[in-house]
Amino acid sequence: MTDLDFLPYILSFLVSLLVTRVMMFVDIHDIPGDRSSHKLVTPRGGGLGILFAFYISWFLHGVSGFPFYEAYFHWLACVVVAALMGGVGFVDDLAGIRDAIKLGFQTLACGILVFSGIKFMAVPLPFLGYVHLGLLGSLVTMFWLVGFMNAFNFMDGLNGMSSGVTIVASFFWFLITLKAGSEALSFSALIILAANLGFIGFNFPHAKIFMGDTGSLFLGALFSLWAVLSTLPEFGGISLWTMPMIFFIYLYDVIFTRIRRLLKGHSLLSAHREHLYQLLNRLGWSHARVTLVYMVFFFFQGSIAYGMQFVSPDDHSWFFMVLLPLYIPLSLLIVKKARAQGIDI
């Protein structure tokens, strides 16, 4: 496949556009509840368009364009698991699935991948270089995969949020994987970018349809799996710190909210509207404004992640320490303003 072959990306955009449009007329709706940030009954399951766009484009153009040596069976295993997670999300959008059952599916699927050898092998640390994880690598990988999928799902709560940040994240992931020489990952990043461009017009700035768990679980699975695959030499040997940096504001928002709720004695499993992005919305910020702010954060983080590729992986973890002095005061300020306005948190 040549660099000038735009057909897979055009196809991805069009498939996403058409399937999302069709899903608007399917009887799958999101009914607002106490935890909802929207007020109107809205179709959901639009993420099916993103999922179809990825697999149709990749299998028509990607499978025939890349060599099938042994490592690519790891790749195929990952895209199969991502499809399964999207399928679980679609069933949840359609009929509802208990959180414990969804977590069970995630754990089982990720456990099979880890058992087959798809896992983090080593972590680069300052002064120590690459530290081999041994058996701990399986636990770290499981925690990352399941944790990231759910974090992405938790953050899918405002118009355009997930598709908007995915567009930015995919762009920088394309640049990073292109530099690393991983054609499969860079090609796939552009397919996902195009698919989300096809979807976002239906979801931002006003939502005609939501991507639902179909989209959020699929995208969460895909990005988390790419992070693991990319550490393998066959897929670029990229530092495991790279994907967490691109998504750092998402991960920080989830961790900060969980810690704050834990300190207040709240259940970590109960539904709530206390994530930082939700508090900004409850403070009067529009969906569009909050989404655009998070996209700016992603652009900033993506730029840092790309810059990290030009320094030793041993020093990559330091870059997170640079962001924390910015994110911690901002998050505390948001919580303070929410309390001052009498918002129940």
* CA 30 to centroid of chain Cα atoms: 21
Quote the radius of gyration of the chain (alpha carbons, Å): 19
Contacts of 91 (CB under 8 A, 6+ apart): 97
3-state secondary structure of 228: helix
pLDDT per position as a tens digit, 159-212? 999 999 999 999 999 999 999 999 889 999 999 999 999 999 999 999 999 999
**Is residue 313 reached through a cis peptide bond, with omega within 30 degrees of 0 on the bond before it?**
no
Structure-token pair, residue 234: 């066959």
**Is residue 329 reached through a cis peptide bond, with omega within 30 degrees of 0 on the bond before it?**
no
pTM (global) more than 0.85: yes
The pLDDT assigned to 68 comes to 46
Rounding to the nearest 10 degrees, give the CA dihedral for residues 243, 245, 246, 247. 90
Task: Give me the residue label for tokens 């759910």.
Answer: 150
Spell out the domain ranges in the chain. Answer: 7-340
Instruction: Decide if pLDDT at 138 tops 60.
Output: yes
pLDDT per position as a tens digit, 221-254? 999 999 999 999 889 999 999 999 999 999 999 9
Task: Give me the residue label for tokens 């120590």.
Answer: 128
Please provide residue 27's backbone torsions phi and psi, each rounded to the nearest 5 degrees: -80, 65
Task: Give me the residue label for tokens 């060599």.
Answer: 67
Per the CB < 8 A criterion, the answer to whether 208 and 220 are in contact is no
Structure-token pair, residue 217: 């679980």
Task: Give me the residue label for tokens 């979801």.
Answer: 203
Per the CB < 8 A criterion, the answer to whether 113 and 77 are in contact is yes
Q: What is the DSSP string of 27-72?
A: S-EE---TT-S--S-EEB-THHHHHHHHHHHIIIIIGGGS---THH
Region of residue 211 (phi > 0: left; psi between -120 and 50: alpha; otherwise: beta): alpha
Distance from first CA to last CA of the chain, Å, rounded?
52
pLDDT per position as a tens digit, 299-326? 999 999 999 999 999 999 999 999 999 9
DSSP class of residue 125 equals E
Per the CB < 8 A criterion, the answer to whether 217 and 149 are in contact is yes
Task: Give me the residue label for tokens 């042994």.
Answer: 70
The pLDDT assigned to 34 comes to 60
The pLDDT assigned to 64 comes to 52
Q: How far is CA 306 from CA 67, 96, 209, 299, in A?
A: 27, 39, 33, 10
3-state secondary structure of 341: coil
Contacts of 139 (CB under 8 A, 6+ apart): none
